[in-house]
Structure 1
Amino acid sequence: MTTFIGFDDVLDNPAWHSLTGVHARFAQVHGRAGRYQSDVAPFHALGTPEDPRSWADLATLVEPETEVMLAGLGGQARPGWEPTRSIPGVQLIDVALRAAPDPSAEVLGAKDVPEILDLIGRTQPGPYLSRTVELGTYLGLRDEGRLVAMAGERLHPPGFTEISAVCTDPAYRGKGLATRLVRAVAAGILDRGETPFLHTGAANTTAIRLYEKLGFELRRHVDFTAYRSTTRAGRPALRV
């Protein structure tokens, strides 16, 4: 029997549906808990967050005292786990985006990682690690050979792809580079018959206004909360 996964189920828990779907090759999974490999992305996910067994599986999956990052759980204490910090965020989805390829955009790969990490470090769009570039297509714009703006694909649940790492060198802001890249990344997503969505901090009103102007719509508010085990019962995952 095929189990139908609804629109809301997927977007309410996109990391889990990515880890158990398209991104399974990057996943470490134990029971109802999963995480990305540590050099790919810092995200963890639970298949059924309301089930205490999921939290027990998470304790088995990670090393003792490890801080895990989970989204959309309200930032409240859970069985055997306590929140250590929480960032309010928003999730937006494409409803009227005018996507368009950009001939000037370059596909970024492993050779570009040092430049990518340098730009990420200077602009702070969110977490980006040495192998994040493998999660999907990342596009960059250069000026005289120097990477000055980028955007790409991160979470990839069924039917959707998250646009992420949208950033521009401070000296090049106000030139529409982020708009061009978001439209170009979205063009590739739409060509696959999928819908673009994205996350950003709730306090990042400048970015939210830009995304809404481009054709994204607020779908929900979502917290990004770090949790630490209170039981010290974790051990490494056995299945990769």
Structure 2
Amino acid sequence: MSVTTLDARSSHILDNPAWAALTGPHAHFAERIGHAARYHQDVAPFYAVADEDDPRAWTDLATLVGPGGTASVRGVTQAPQGWEVVRTGHGVQLVDTFVRAEPDADAVRLGPDDVPEILDLVARTEPGPYLPRTVELGTYLGIRHRGRLIALAGERLHPPGWTEISAVCTDPGHRGRGLATRLVRAVAAGIKERGERPFLHAAASNANAIGLYESIGFTLRRRTVFSLVRHTGAAALEETA
């Protein structure tokens, strides 16, 4: 797999996209304490800190999750005092460089009434976390076959000027027909119409997905680490004393 890496300095807001979203366009979905924030727990499972090297952020995150609580955060491989890393996953972040965005006549806008069907498709295809109110984060489009939802893509993180394309999935019985490509282009069309730029994330091990996104016109910007961390109840509060 051949990829081109962009200069990270050109899109620095994407170095911490969840924080930028939770303190910006998605602030109405946020629960925030000082330097830490999370989405409402029925919207998305993501947490963020303003700076993972700032002890104050971890103190605030500890208050947010409580003793024994867990948080899914970006960029942490070694937890600070009072925390432990439960598991870590590696991913990639890609940005639009030459995506041919175009609406799709077969794509339908999905809403709260479609959530049971969305959750069923997500459970069968596992594109990533999707919760009962995730649909409220942005535009979600689907393609149906004989009335049944068979493909999905939509908008998730929303840092200023950018929108993440997420939940890209196709029913196993309908793969190989280019449905995912069509939906990604259709979602990208709506993003670009607002004057914003699409980006997305994928598991580093998912070469097929990365190859698909590159063929559509996305370029690797950076490699990422996501960790599930647990607060052990012994945070170094003296740092903020």
With the shorter chain as reference, the TM-score category is over 0.9
Task: Please name the residue that 1:9 is paired with.
Answer: 12
Spell out, residue by residue over 1:111-157, the C-alpha distance to the aligned partner (whole angstroms, 9 max, x if none). Answer: 00000000000000000000000000000000000000000000000
Point out where structure 1 has 5 or more consecutive residues left out of the alignment: 1-5, 234-240
Seen in structure 2, the aligned counterparts of structure 1 residues 7 and 36 have a Cα distance that, compared at 3 Å, is farther
Question: C-alpha distance in 1, partners of 2:148/2:234?
Answer: 46
> Which has the higher mean CA deviation after the structures are superposed, 180-189 or 75-84?
75-84
Task: Please name the residue that 1:236 is paired with.
Answer: none
Extract structure 1 runs of 4+ deviating beyond 4 A. Answer: none
Question: C-alpha distance in 2, partners of 1:40/1:140?
Answer: 19
- Does the 8 Å contact 1:55/1:79 carry over to 2? no
Question: C-alpha distance in 2, partners of 1:160/1:79?
Answer: 34
Task: Please name the residue that 2:36 is paired with.
Answer: 33
RMSD between superposed Cα atoms in Å: 1.1
SS of corresponding position for 2:103: coil
Seen in structure 2, the aligned counterparts of structure 1 residues 232 and 145 have a Cα distance that, compared at 3 Å, is farther
Question: C-alpha distance in 1, partners of 2:53/2:234?
Answer: 21
Do structure 1's residue 20 and structure 2's residue 23 form an aligned pair?
A: yes
- Does the 8 Å contact 2:66/2:231 carry over to 1? no
Question: C-alpha distance in 2, partners of 1:38/1:63?
Answer: 14
Spell out, residue by residue over 1:5-52, the C-alpha distance to the aligned partner (whole angstroms, 9 max, x if none). Answer: x75431000000100111111100000000000000000000121101
Question: C-alpha distance in 1, partners of 2:10/2:49?
Answer: 17
Point out where structure 2 has 5 or more consecutive residues left out of the alignment: 1-8, 236-241
Task: Please name the residue that 1:123 is paired with.
Answer: 125
Pairing partner for 1:93 from 72, 84, 95: 95
Question: C-alpha distance in 1, partners of 2:62/2:234?
Answer: 8
SS of corresponding position for 2:37: strand
Do structure 1's residue 48 and structure 2's residue 56 form an aligned pair?
A: no
- Does the 8 Å contact 2:65/2:231 carry over to 1? no
> Which has the higher mean CA deviation after the structures are superposed, 78-87 or 95-104?
78-87
- Give, as a single letter, the amino acid of the residue that structure 1 aligns with 2:159: P
Question: C-alpha distance in 2, partners of 1:166/1:211?
Answer: 11
TM-score (norm 2): 0.92
Pairing partner for 2:177 from 175, 198, 207: 175
Task: Please name the residue that 2:116 is paired with.
Answer: 114
Spell out, residue by residue over 1:36-83, the C-alpha distance to the aligned partner (whole angstroms, 9 max, x if none). Answer: 00000000000121101100000011132111100123x212232111
- Does the 8 Å contact 1:94/1:216 carry over to 2? yes
Task: Please name the residue that 2:229 is paired with.
Answer: 227
Task: Please name the residue that 1:161 is paired with.
Answer: 163
Task: Please name the residue that 1:238 is paired with.
Answer: none
- Does the 8 Å contact 1:52/1:79 carry over to 2? no
Question: C-alpha distance in 2, partners of 1:152/1:70?
Answer: 22
SS of corresponding position for 1:223: strand
Give 1:232 shift. Answer: 5.6
Pairing partner for 2:135 from 88, 109, 133: 133
